[in-house]
Structure 1
Amino acid sequence: MRFISILCLLILTISPCFAQSPRASAEVTTLISQAPLLAVLDHDNSSALSLVTLFRKIHAAQKLPQPAVADGPTRASDLSQFSGTYAQFAAVMSADITRITAGLGIDWEKEILKTYDPKSAKTDAGKTLRLNGNVARVFNERWLGSSDGLFLLSGVVNRMDRRDFDSAHCGELRFIYRLGYEVRMNGKTYASRMPFTVNMVFSYADDGRNCQDVASLWRVAGIDADDPAVVAQRLLQGPLDFSRLIFKQMEINAQVVRFPSDLENMENRKFAGQAIYWMRIFALRDGKFQPTRLENTPDVQAILKDPAKQKQLQDCLAGHIAEIDNGTFRIPESLEADIALSFSTAGSARMANRPFDLAIGSEQAARIVAAAGVPGRSPKFVQSGAGLLERLNTSSCMGCHQSSSTAGFHFLGVDRFDFGRDADAIRNALDGNELQLPFSPHVYAELVRRKDYVERVSLGQAPNSFRPHPSAPPAAWASGNPAYVVAGDNMPCPLNADLAQAAKWSCNATRNLTCQALVTNAATSSNLGQCVPAAQNVAAGLSCRSNVIEDSTAKTAANNPLGFNLRAFSDRVSKEELVYKLPEGKLSGYGYNCRPTKIGVPLGRVTRPCKPEEASLAVIRPGSVPEEICAIVGGKGFEQMAKGYFDSGIFAAGVGRGLLNTCSPSRFCREDYICQQMPDFVTSARFNVSAPALNNLRSRKIGFCTPTYFVYQLRLDGHPNPR
């Protein structure tokens, strides 16, 4: 899809916001994600921001035992020695995995080499299904204590805007780590990151000046240009100074089950693959490191069983409609769950990720909004019952994490090669398994809002506390209401009048885009559409199928042992139709084709064979960003990886080429797709791409959109078994 660049927008609209006050020489930053800088801050256990160092600080502050951890990279086996904290989290997750697999009630597997082994089946049906690897793949919790598992700093996030939820502190600072590994087997290096993030959250102590001093710390000069070691020192003596920080909590988001696309076909669910994500928060309470409540995530089953809780929730919503409208609210902890599961594919349209649809329901939501009507009140977001549910659902953990996210995550971080014994071996092992963009479309839009927020606080001005819809595009914040950039091809868009005018955005009219419902689900309170081009503007990468979902969550919610939506994997696509009149069979010539969902491409994908001049990438000139690119697609190399470990050489020998859509730092992929980096191996004789042509793409951060689970670092299977 196409996003107009917002660089000019930022220059023209954000700068005038502060015309009344002098600007400091360096602008504030809200994200640290540069790989060389992260490598300085987190190289081994002794580094200032290694996960081991953070746990040492937490243990020191809480007077907990300090284990003797050896030097070297931060391995899961090192962290497991922190018995009072990390080990407690690992034990809870292990127990939850056991409960999840029991609750699924289907054939499942943790050992990658057994997925095609009928003798390992746990059900009679599984004996047949496994002949083609059709088994639910489950996270192997041995990674959490294995010397093979590594935790890598992926980014540092400034969340000063969180002070709106905690006036006693000056917002939050978040250190985000990804689980990864580097394994030597048979004289070869295997390495990857995995779909597992740890978010270490610290609060800034109140500075006594309405947080102006803390905000000003984020004016860090030369963060992109200067020596990373020098910049690291500036950061550690400024915004990353732990003398200002108080540990708050540890947040986990991990893919725990993945259902391959062919299993979906065999079971007649017809999703292009599915995944379940496990989310918990751990904090120190009463001297123990234990799960705590998840913000604005209702305990659906407890509420449905208890009329008193139902009334408490209804009264809370009715009495705080203004805060809900603004997006700065929190339901009582007594109504919140301490575990959340989220689901993809088509996650934004499934009841599994919309807990308030069950906890409140459409009729009650409409009554609450009608009763809250105040003469002269201009709603910012909520103007109907469906709008209220949309605000509530997208503020829950599962709802937010499935709104304009990338594989159930919002921040994945840049790929690093400094975490192993041999950087060149790591780089070679990761080729074909790298990301071009480190964060989701939601984060991209949020960074603009957060920067405006921190800038204003640093200048002693009142920030805008309004939270847009998490699927809204970037906006200018000069006035009281956000002025949204128009949405590009296949990006989300509001379909109806559920949202107030101030919360709406539109599709790019200059591209003749219209907002259409490509995924519908009658069981949910509302759905977003996609900005769809007219037939004459069909191009590679576009959605070319529409889906109707038959939702199962309401039918199974009461009997699930771990969460109301545990068995939401049994949702199915009951109807599928073509969006454009395109051929669906074998690719031929250079005409566009709609590839079917059953091969793992959600909502289908427009593509065609590459012309010779397109395959060389020579047609991509410096200074222009193409809409289409001859990328890598599927093939025997991809299928071979599904049977074992990701091996870049075998992968390269089997993948094909096809025309897909491009992505870049201001041009994002649609839901259930990720921006992948063009691999180094395309410069081999087989693919006929010159090194200068590839470097042209890399220097301008141009990648291509591909289904999320085609990238091995975003699926829990395809990795060695942890030792």
Structure 2
Amino acid sequence: MRRLLGLIVLIGGLVPLVAGAAEASLRALAVTDPLALRELDLREHRGEPHPGFGLQQMLDPSPAAPMSPASFTNDRLFALPAMSGLRAALDDEFQHYRSTHAPSQWALFDLEALKAPRTRFALSGIINRLDRGYVAAHGCGEVRLIYRPIHQTSTGPQRLPMTLNVVLRARGENDAITCREVARRWLAAEAWTEVGADRARRMMAPGGPLAPLGPAAIDRLEINLQIATERDAAAGDFRADYLLKVFRFDQARGRYEAAPMENQIDRDRLIADRGLGQAFRRWLLEPDNLAAFDRGTLIIPDAYLARSAIAVTPAAFSHSPQRPAAGLAGPTTADPLISDADIVEALQRAVDRGIVLQTIRSPAGFERRLNDITCSGCHQTLGIGGFHFPGVDWTAEPARRIAAFGSPHFIADQDRRRAIVTAVGDGHAPDYARGLSDRPELTGATLTSREPHEGWGAACGLPDAGGHVDPSFRNWTCAAGLTCQPARGASAFPIGMCFVAPR
């Protein structure tokens, strides 16, 4: 409970930051205006050729019987042939979870409410991810459409704890548009004075950043739902488990099917199949791969990846089976697949090759990065209710909307993302290197604010009994008036959180 109260305070303290230093970057990198999102979803004002981004338009663009976006409820969504694979996969995951995880006293996600005719997915945000241009050799990164399910009840709309991300290729459906042009369109929108529906229509109009985007640009679907929660009143603890999955369209079957999740290491399979595990160890420790791993731009081959994951929040409850790196690297088990000696030797080989390592300078830093590049490991950092972008609920009354639409890490990463978009727009080679999810700063960058990185609740390098900080986290300092103190959930790593010094 203390952790939850602290998180509420942190979210409250984040609101001035969103309205201040980060606002300019957000206008170029995200759509978070409630009335603009409403227009992009419902298309209540006509006049432009673009049909908008309602979920039916994205997943069923040529329906036999067109309907208003507001009428495209989830019973219709899950009845689409293209969604039959996703629907079956959810049913299977819930059945498996009930049999292996959830005690009877846990509160499970209401899967029937999700599929009900009184529930629909509302567009809650659009995120520019041109900073992911390194993923595809000839790509420009991604644009993500974030949808949240709204369930209508007798007492009003209820927001279900889930996101559905429709991930688009940033160039959209027009390969003739260059990456430079894509970046310039997004940056130009930063100076626009329009707000609400007027801004949405301009973004969709010819020459706007959203104009090239549509169903043909879909790369994949991603889901993140709070599958179960447990509250221990006696101990004052709260735990939530989240199901993460990725789906890609199977042309032969005509539907979305579960696919390998980017960098989500299949820990259990690598440990069970020692030969496969050793192959992964050799691949990861190769100097060029280690360099990409250090920079946060590594893409792990599908052969080593899982197709689903359960992330546990708070991370204090995340014991070895949930941590992708547990049993693979570091002193977590007596016989790790990648030992500390292996890591030290690999780091030295990289240095001997002239590779400058920015984030990994120790076995502890190696293990932290190994968890961080995974879907579940990133999820287990300090997000808002497990999400780094809960988004905007424009369907609710203003007084009932959440105060902050993004986690501290989402806000803190905007400077790095904008620097990449600016470099692409100027025709320069961008630096895609990124920090860890819970310390999202770019080494050497001039940041508009240090508060997200060093302020209250920030991750920091925790000194040991002798006053020494692990080399990987030595630069993770706290702002004036704060000290690095132990925090629940970080005991397995030499990392604490910045809090006011105890008197």
TM, length-normalised to structure 2: 0.83
1:93-492 map, 5 Å: 93-104=90-101, 106-107=103-104, 135-183=105-153, 185=154, 189-205=155-171, 211-221=179-189, 225-237=193-205, 238-242=208-212, 246-262=217-233, 265=234, 270=235, 272-288=237-253, 289-319=256-286, 320-346=289-315, 350-351=319-320, 353-362=322-331, 364-372=338-346, 373=348, 374-375=351-352, 376-417=354-395, 427=397, 433-472=400-439, 478=445, 485=451, 487-492=454-459
* DSSP 3-state at the match of 1:359: coil
Task: Specify every segment of 5 or more residues in structure 2 that has no aligned partner in the other structure, as ranges.
Answer: 1-9, 464-468
> Contact between 1:80 and 1:87, CA under 8 Å: does it hold in 2?
yes
1:99 Cα deviation (Å)?
Answer: 1.0
* Corresponding letter in the other structure for 1:218: W
* Corresponding letter in the other structure for 2:226: Q
Change (3 A) 1:439 1:353: farther
* Corresponding letter in the other structure for 2:405: P
> Contact between 2:462 and 2:486, CA under 8 Å: does it hold in 1?
yes
* DSSP 3-state at the match of 1:334: helix
Change (3 A) 1:220 1:434: same
Q: Decide which of 75, 88, 99 is 1:91's aligned counterpart.
A: 88
1:368 Cα deviation (Å)?
Answer: 3.2
Provide the C-alpha distance between the structure 2 equivalents of 1:5 and 1:105, rounded to a whole number of angstroms: 38
- The corresponding residue for 2:80 is 82
1:337 Cα deviation (Å)?
Answer: 0.3
Provide the C-alpha distance between the structure 1 equivalents of 2:22 and 2:190, rounded to a whole number of angstroms: 19
* DSSP 3-state at the match of 1:470: coil
Q: Deviations over 1:513-545 (max 9, x none)?
A: 1111122666x4x25201121234xxxxxxxxx
- The corresponding residue for 1:638 is none
> Contact between 2:28 and 2:190, CA under 8 Å: does it hold in 1?
no
1:483 Cα deviation (Å)?
Answer: 9.4
> Contact between 1:444 and 1:474, CA under 8 Å: does it hold in 2?
no
The alignment of Structure 1 onto Structure 2 pairs a total of residues equal to: 461
> Contact between 2:129 and 2:144, CA under 8 Å: does it hold in 1?
yes
Change (3 A) 1:473 1:105: closer
1:350 Cα deviation (Å)?
Answer: 4.7
Provide the C-alpha distance between the structure 2 equivalents of 1:175 and 1:441, rounded to a whole number of angstroms: 20
Q: Deviations over 1:16-71 (max 9, x none)?
A: xxxxxxxxxx99711101101011111279961101110124xx6xxxxx453533
* Corresponding letter in the other structure for 2:92: A
Provide the C-alpha distance between the structure 2 equivalents of 1:494 and 1:78, rounded to a whole number of angstroms: 50
1:10 Cα deviation (Å)?
Answer: 7.5
> Contact between 1:507 and 1:514, CA under 8 Å: does it hold in 2?
yes
> Contact between 2:114 and 2:151, CA under 8 Å: does it hold in 1?
no
Provide the C-alpha distance between the structure 1 equivalents of 2:297 and 2:424, rounded to a whole number of angstroms: 17
* DSSP 3-state at the match of 1:219: helix
Q: Percent identity of the aligned residues?
A: 25
1:224 Cα deviation (Å)?
Answer: 7.1
Q: Name which of structure 1's ranges 27-36 and 44-53 shifts more when overlaid on structure 2.
A: 44-53
Change (3 A) 1:152 1:317: same
1:463 Cα deviation (Å)?
Answer: 1.6
> Contact between 1:41 and 1:50, CA under 8 Å: does it hold in 2?
yes
1:227 Cα deviation (Å)?
Answer: 4.7
* Corresponding letter in the other structure for 1:50: G
Change (3 A) 1:43 1:104: same
- The corresponding residue for 2:58 is 54
Q: Name which of structure 1's ranges 138-147 and 220-229 shifts more when overlaid on structure 2.
A: 220-229
TM, length-normalised to structure 1: 0.59
> Contact between 2:34 and 2:196, CA under 8 Å: does it hold in 1?
no
> Contact between 1:343 and 1:352, CA under 8 Å: does it hold in 2?
no
- The corresponding residue for 1:630 is none
Provide the C-alpha distance between the structure 2 equivalents of 1:335 and 1:236, rounded to a whole number of angstroms: 39
- The corresponding residue for 1:540 is none
1:231 Cα deviation (Å)?
Answer: 1.8
Provide the C-alpha distance between the structure 1 equivalents of 2:231 and 2:326, rounded to a whole number of angstroms: 28
Provide the C-alpha distance between the structure 2 equivalents of 1:104 and 1:9, rounded to a whole number of angstroms: 43
Provide the C-alpha distance between the structure 1 equivalents of 2:355 and 2:130, rounded to a whole number of angstroms: 29
Provide the C-alpha distance between the structure 1 equivalents of 2:195 and 2:189, rounded to a whole number of angstroms: 11
> Contact between 1:475 and 1:483, CA under 8 Å: does it hold in 2?
no
Task: Specify every segment of 5 or more residues in structure 1 that has no aligned partner in the other structure, as ranges.
Answer: 15-25, 61-65, 108-134, 418-425, 537-723
> Contact between 1:172 and 1:202, CA under 8 Å: does it hold in 2?
yes
* DSSP 3-state at the match of 1:443: helix
Provide the C-alpha distance between the structure 2 equivalents of 1:344 and 1:8, rounded to a whole number of angstroms: 29
* DSSP 3-state at the match of 1:357: coil
- The corresponding residue for 2:7 is none
Q: Name which of structure 1's ranges 321-330 and 201-210 shifts more when overlaid on structure 2.
A: 201-210
> Contact between 2:146 and 2:166, CA under 8 Å: does it hold in 1?
yes
* Corresponding letter in the other structure for 2:326: D
Q: Deviations over 1:477-508 (max 9, x none)?
A: 647x999555222332122544536x833101
* DSSP 3-state at the match of 1:153: strand
Change (3 A) 1:520 1:476: closer
> Contact between 1:180 and 1:191, CA under 8 Å: does it hold in 2?
yes
> Contact between 1:487 and 1:506, CA under 8 Å: does it hold in 2?
yes
1:284 Cα deviation (Å)?
Answer: 1.3
Change (3 A) 1:257 1:230: same
* DSSP 3-state at the match of 2:170: strand
1:356 Cα deviation (Å)?
Answer: 1.1
1:571-610 map, 5 Å: none
> Contact between 2:364 and 2:494, CA under 8 Å: does it hold in 1?
no
* Corresponding letter in the other structure for 1:39: R
* DSSP 3-state at the match of 2:364: helix
* Corresponding letter in the other structure for 2:120: L
Change (3 A) 1:482 1:326: farther
- The corresponding residue for 2:6 is none
Provide the C-alpha distance between the structure 2 equivalents of 1:202 and 1:256, rounded to a whole number of angstroms: 26
> Contact between 1:492 and 1:528, CA under 8 Å: does it hold in 2?
yes
> Contact between 1:369 and 1:383, CA under 8 Å: does it hold in 2?
no
1:285 Cα deviation (Å)?
Answer: 3.0
Provide the C-alpha distance between the structure 1 equivalents of 2:177 and 2:58, rounded to a whole number of angstroms: 27
Please say which structure displays the higher CA radius of gyration: 1
Provide the C-alpha distance between the structure 1 equivalents of 2:435 and 2:479, rounded to a whole number of angstroms: 19
1:377 Cα deviation (Å)?
Answer: 3.8
> Contact between 1:276 and 1:341, CA under 8 Å: does it hold in 2?
yes
